[in-house]
Amino acid sequence: MKKELFQKIDIPEEIEVVLEGTTLTVKGKEGENKRNFKLPKLTIEKKDNKIIIGSKKATKNEKKIMNTVAAHIKNMMKGVQEKFEYKLKTCFSHFPITVNVEGNKATIKNFLGEKIPRKFDFPEGVEIKISKQDITITSINKELAGQAAANFERATKIRGRDRRVFQDGIFITNKAGRGM
């Protein structure tokens, strides 16, 4: 059954929102967040101090997409007010692990005594601070910060060994917006 559905998102005073076509730009004290929303059946418009997402003839799928887009926009607004922060911890019992970050490349040395270091890239727009065994990832974009944290965890995934014995790795201890 199709019906008229609209969702309104309030814009805080300290945030500036610009909507050009399908591109939404959010500016705040921490920086600028930009995203393109290509939604064929939904309309996005800015009126007064609100962003209105909706459709005149919405189905269940449009409602799901509308809620997802609203969550993305709210995360963009939160990010430019206060950066998202992920905390990771380096755990080892057999061989001490060394983590180095240069530019947007990370290197993990001596993981399980391996001679060849494990290397991976993380997205631009992410700040990484390493202090002893703790790694802190901050960004105004929640998805980029989460992807960087996931890259660290995935780089130290153990294959071919017993996980009960080899519990070494880099693990997420605190996610943005949720304490663990």
pLDDT of residue 92: 87
Domain 3-81 shares a fold with domain 84-174? yes
84-174: what fold? Outer Surface Protein A; domain 3 (3.90.930)
Over range 44-58, report the average pLDDT. 88
Over range 42-48, report the average pLDDT. 88
pLDDT of residue 125: 86
Over range 83-99, report the average pLDDT. 89
Over range 144-149, report the average pLDDT. 91
Q: How far apart (Å, rounded) are the C-alpha atoms in residues 116 and 110?
A: 8
Residue with tokens 């304490």, as numbered in its chain: 179
Beta-sheet strand order (sheet of 16-20)? 16-20, 23-27, 32-36
The domain limits of the chain are 3-81, 84-174
Q: Which CATH architecture has domain 3-81?
A: Alpha-Beta Complex (3.90)
Predicted confidence band at 164 (pLDDT cuts at 50, 70, 90)?
confident
Q: Is the pTM of this model over 0.75?
A: yes
Find the helix or strand (DSSP H, E) in which 2 lies. Answer: none
Of 10-24, 99-113, 163-177, the poorest mean pLDDT is in: 163-177
Q: How far apart (Å, rounded) are the C-alpha atoms in residues 109 and 117?
A: 5
More confident residue, 123 or 167: 123
pLDDT of residue 87: 94
- Residues above pLDDT 90, as percent of the chain: 25
Contact 177, 145 (CB under 8 A): no
pLDDT at 82 over 60: yes
